Amino acid sequence: MTETKGDFRSGIVALIGPPNAGKSTLLNQIIGEKVAIVSPKPQTTRNQITGILTRENVQIVFLDTPGVHQRKGKLNSLLLKAAWDGLVAADVIVLLLDGYLYSQKPQVMERDLGVLANRLRKVKNPLFIAVNKVDRVKDKKILLPLSERLNELFPDVEIFFISALNRYGIEELLNKIVPALPYGPPLYPEDQISTLPLRFMVAEIIREKLFLCLHKELPYNLAVQVEQWEESETLAKIMATIYVSRSSHKPIVIGHKGQLLKKIGQQSRLEIEEIVGKKVYLELWVKIKPKWTENTSFLLSLGPGG
């Protein structure tokens, strides 16, 4: 590890917020590479994802968390646990909100902010709020009710208006985060951008393509696991299984004459080749595993340490 000056800061920043607020998009933009998968569907992120930003005087370890929401079931309670666990370890918390959604749906805003304010009242860590997706808001006046409500609920918290998608406001947010971090040496080598194992990232890339290609509830009933990985100097042979919970889901994932699975495989392979840095031969299998979302040991085996 490189020697550091006395004014170097390092710490952990947890990104929290409702599903679909843009947490993973923000993380990827900050890191400058894709470390977290993104989709237009809520509850895309299922585990705690890390992204590491190292600059001249600071190293920030970001924790991207599954969206905080209230739904039942074992998978969902694990998602919630991962989200709130992120807070305990964090030096700074950034609460990300979908400004566009709240400008359109005041009832959803009230419900979400009620839950979040309740929960965050007990948390002592420094907090910032980032209102995201302002690129979608043409007339900024419609963000006023949200600003007012945030000022009431979080009177001492600084609020930023950002667009994670086109980087608007991100540097301003980072400039406020850095002084709130403790002094200390970097925790990871400066060229490391995540703590996630490659196998997990590969499974996540495949899961993202499934989220993007499949509709309605189906993506929520899917899990991906890398089963085999053989590597030579020029080629990585990877075999992964897509688990579905019902037999009727299997032909949907495979598609007519295998076309959909082929497309998912091709799209995934291109991205996996980028992170692995060599040619990839990717083999995908679809297997039926009834009730996997309620199977705790299987759920844990899907995590980055699994």
- Tell me the window of 40-48, 85-93, 127-135, 213-221 that interacts with Mg ion (CB under 5 A): 40-48
CB within 8 Å of 283: residues ≥ 6 apart:
237, 238, 239, 240, 265
Binding positions for Mg ion, 245-274, rule CB under 5 A: none
293 binds Mg ion per the rule CB under 5 A: no
Pick the binder of ligand GTP from 25, 59, 103, 221 (CB under 6 A): 25
Pick the binder of ligand GTP from 47, 163, 241, 245 (CB under 6 A): 163
Please check whether residue 258 is in contact with residue 212, taking contact to mean a CB–CB distance below 8 angstroms.
Answer: no
- Tell me the window of 23-31, 98-106, 165-173, 208-216 that interacts with Mg ion (CB under 5 A): 23-31
- How many residues touch Mg ion under the rule CB under 5 A: the total is 4
Helix (H) or strand (E) run with residue 129 in it: strand 127-132
Pick the binder of Mg ion from 10, 28, 45, 59 (CB under 5 A): 45
66 binds ligand GTP per the rule CB under 6 A: yes
Order the strands of the 92-98 sheet from edge to edge: 49-55, 58-64, 9-16, 92-98, 127-132, 158-161
40 binds ligand GTP per the rule CB under 6 A: yes
Pick the binder of ligand GTP from 115, 159, 165, 170 (CB under 6 A): 165
Distances, alpha carbon 294 to alpha carbons 77, 124, 178, 211, 234, in Å: 10, 33, 40, 20, 40
By a kind-dependent CB cut-off of 5 to 8 A, residue 42 interacts, out of ligand GTP, Mg ion, none, with ligand GTP
- How many residues touch ligand GTP under the rule CB under 6 A: the total is 23
Distances, alpha carbon 75 to alpha carbons 80, 181, 293, 300, in Å: 9, 33, 5, 10
The structure tokens 């499934």 sit at 210
The structure tokens 């037999």 sit at 247
Least CB distance to ligand GTP at residue 130 (A):
10
Our CB check for ligand GTP shows the closer of 39 and 125 to be 39
By a kind-dependent CB cut-off of 5 to 8 A, residue 132 interacts, out of Mg ion, ligand GTP, none, with ligand GTP
176 binds ligand GTP per the rule CB under 6 A: no
Q: Which of 133, 132, 134, 126 is nearest to 177 (CA)?
A: 126
CB within 8 Å of 117: residues ≥ 6 apart:
153, 154
28 binds Mg ion per the rule CB under 5 A: no
209 binds ligand GTP per the rule CB under 6 A: no
29 binds ligand GTP per the rule CB under 6 A: no
Least CB distance to Mg ion at residue 67 (A):
7
**Cα gap 165→148, rounded to integer Å:** 25
Our CB check for ligand GTP shows the closer of 137 and 226 to be 137
**Cα gap 91→305, rounded to integer Å:** 23
Please check whether residue 17 is in contact with residue 95, taking contact to mean a CB–CB distance below 8 angstroms.
Answer: yes
**Cα gap 226→301, rounded to integer Å:** 11
Query: Which residue ranges make up the site for ligand GTP (CB under 6 A)?
Result: 19-25, 38-40, 42-45, 66-67, 132-133, 135-136, 163-165
- Judged by the rule CB under 5 A, the positions of this chain that interact with Mg ion are 23-24, 44-45
